[in-house]
Amino acid sequence: MALQGNNSPSTVSVEKTFNDQHFLLNFIMSTYLGPDVFFDNPRRSASQRLAQALPPYTSNSLSFSFVSLSQLESLYYYVLRNANPALVVEPSVFHMYLKGIMPLPSSELPEDCQQFTSFFPLNIHGHKRYSGRYEIVKGIVLIDDPDTSFIKKEDLVRFRSLSGMDDLKIDKIKSLCYEHEYKKRKEDGKQNYMKNSKANATGNISDGNHNSSSQSREPCMERHPNNPLPEPALSHPVSVSNHHILQGAFLKNCNRDGPAMMPLLTVPNGKECMSDASVTLTGTATKGMVGPPIGVVDIGISKLAYFFQAALPGVRRDYSHFSCEIEADGKVHIQGSTSGGKTIRKRSRVFCMRLHQICPPGQFTLDFSLPGPVDPRLFSPHFRCDGIFEAVVIKQK
C-alpha cells in the first residue's frame, strides 16, 4: 500500500487513517501481550521489555503458555469495540499483520515498519498449526492490566482517544472470547449452511414417477469475501453412564505392556459425561511402582469454563517433548516423555540408580475427558514448576 503522490485532502485522510490503524495494531499487541519468560517476575509486555531494555531471551527461556490466532483476533476487536469502525482492520488484514506480511508504506523510521513479528519473532515464538484452521503462537501470555508508566504520554493519549478506552485494564475471559462482528457473521453463515444442508437432505420431493428433483440445490448463505467457508457443526459427545467408580483409587492393568486406567472423581453436574476408565495412560507412565504417580487428574467447573490439573512429575516441559491437544467434545490428549535412566549425572558426579520406583524414561500418553464439549481455540495452559500441568478451556456455547 503506497501512500505517495499528491497531498489532496483525500490522500492525507487515507494516510492518517492507515497510520492510526497501524498504531493501534502495534499498541494493542505489544501492550496486552508479552513473552512468557521464566526470569520475568511478574511477566512484562513486549513494549515494556523494549522500553526498559531488559535482557534478551531465547525459545529455551519460555514457558508453555501460548495463544491462538483466534484469541489474538478476539483481543484486538474487544479492545477496539468502541472505536471508530474506520480504524479497525478486517480479519484478513489482521492475520497478515500477525504473519508480518501486511503491506506497509515505505519509511525509514523503525516504528513505521513494525508488525507482530517485530515484537514476537518467528524464530523464538514459533507458529504451530493443528487440524483445520487452528493455529497457535508459542510462549506468549495475556497481560490484562498492563503497566503504562513506561509509555510515552502522547502515545497513551492517542490510544485512549482512538480506542475510546479510559482504563486499559481488560477482562481476560471476555477479551479472549469476544464475539466480534466478523465472528458473528461467520457463525450466522454456519447456521444458514447447516439449515440449508438439512433442507436439501430432506426437502427433495419426488414427482409422481418417483423421480427426485433433477436440480441440486446449493446451500444459500451470505458470506463476507474475507471470511472462509463455514466448517461443519461439531457433534456433542454421547453421554456415558458412571458405574462403580472407586473414589481416589489408582487402578492399573495387570498387563504392564497395555494401557493403564484409573477412574476420574465425579464432578458436580458432569456425571453423565464420565466413564468408568476416565483416564487412560500408555507408555512409561504405566511402569511406575510407587511414589508420585503420573496422571492423577483434578477437574473444576465454572459457569463459562472447565479447569483441570494433571500431575506430571519428572516430565520434560520443553515443546519438543510435550504437547496437549483438546478436542471439541472435551477429550484431552497429553503426550510427553519422562526423564531419568539407569545412570544420572549431577554436575561432576555420576549416580547408578539401584532403586527404581518413579516412571522410567520414555514416551507416554495421558487421555481423559472433560465433563462436556469445549471450544478448543479458547485454551490457556500452564505447566507449573512443581510438576503440575493445568489449563482453563472455555465451554462450547
Question: Is 363 a member of any domain?
Answer: yes
pLDDT of res. 384: 86
Under a CB-based contact definition with an 8 Å cutoff, are residues 31 and 45 in contact?
Answer: yes
Question: Is 276 a member of any domain?
Answer: yes
Question: Within this chain, do residues 171 and 280 fall inside the same structural domain, yes or no?
Answer: no
Short-list 161, 183, 370, 176, CA closest to 273: 370
pLDDT of res. 160: 95
Question: Within this chain, do residues 133 and 281 fall inside the same structural domain, yes or no?
Answer: no
- Would you give the DSSP letter of residue 315? B
Q: How far apart are CA 344 and CA 136, in angstroms?
A: 35
Question: Is 335 a member of any domain?
Answer: yes
Write the CB contacts of 377 (distance below 8 Å, at least 6 apart in sequence).
Answer: 68, 70, 71, 134
Residues in the chain with pLDDT < 70? 1-12, 108, 131-133, 184, 186-279, 281, 284-293, 319-320, 355-357
pLDDT of res. 13: 74
pLDDT of res. 154: 95
Question: Within this chain, do residues 171 and 42 fall inside the same structural domain, yes or no?
Answer: yes
Last residue of a domain, one of 178, 201, 229: 178
Amino acid (one-letter) located at 349: R
How many residues in total does the chain contain? Answer: 397
Q: Considering the chain, what is the average pLDDT of its residues?
A: 75
Question: Is 196 a member of any domain?
Answer: no
For residue 190, give the C-alpha cell: 454456519
Question: Is 231 a member of any domain?
Answer: no
Question: Within this chain, do residues 143 and 264 fall inside the same structural domain, yes or no?
Answer: no
Question: Within this chain, do residues 266 and 152 fall inside the same structural domain, yes or no?
Answer: no
pLDDT of res. 45: 94
For residue 199, give the C-alpha cell: 433442507
Question: Within this chain, do residues 293 and 156 fall inside the same structural domain, yes or no?
Answer: no
pLDDT of res. 218: 34
Question: Within this chain, do residues 301 and 391 fall inside the same structural domain, yes or no?
Answer: yes
For residue 161, give the C-alpha cell: 482517544
Question: Is 158 a member of any domain?
Answer: yes
Last residue of a domain, one of 178, 209, 241: 178
pLDDT of res. 72: 94
- Residue linked to cell 472470547: 177
Last residue of a domain, one of 143, 178, 213: 178
pLDDT digits (tens, 9 = 90+) for 93-147: 999 999 999 988 777 677 778 999 999 999 999 998 876 667 889 999 999 999 9
pLDDT of res. 294: 77
Q: How far apart are the first and last CA of the chain?
A: 39
pLDDT digits (tens, 9 = 90+) for 175-188: 988 888 877 676 66
Q: How far apart are CA 48 and CA 149, in angstroms?
A: 9
Q: How far apart are CA 3 and CA 14, in angstroms?
A: 8
CATH number at residue 337: 2.60.40.790
Question: Within this chain, do residues 174 and 25 fall inside the same structural domain, yes or no?
Answer: yes
Question: Within this chain, do residues 34 and 162 fall inside the same structural domain, yes or no?
Answer: yes
Q: If 0-12 CB within 10 Å is exposed, 13-18 middle and 19+ buried, where does residue 315 land? A: buried
Question: Is 247 a member of any domain?
Answer: no
Question: Is 225 a member of any domain?
Answer: no
Find the domain containing 155 and state its range: 9-178
pLDDT of res. 278: 58
Question: Within this chain, do residues 155 and 269 fall inside the same structural domain, yes or no?
Answer: no
Number of domains in the chain: 2
Short-list 168, 150, 152, 172, CA closest to 160: 168
CA angle 258, 327, 195 (to 5 degrees): 135
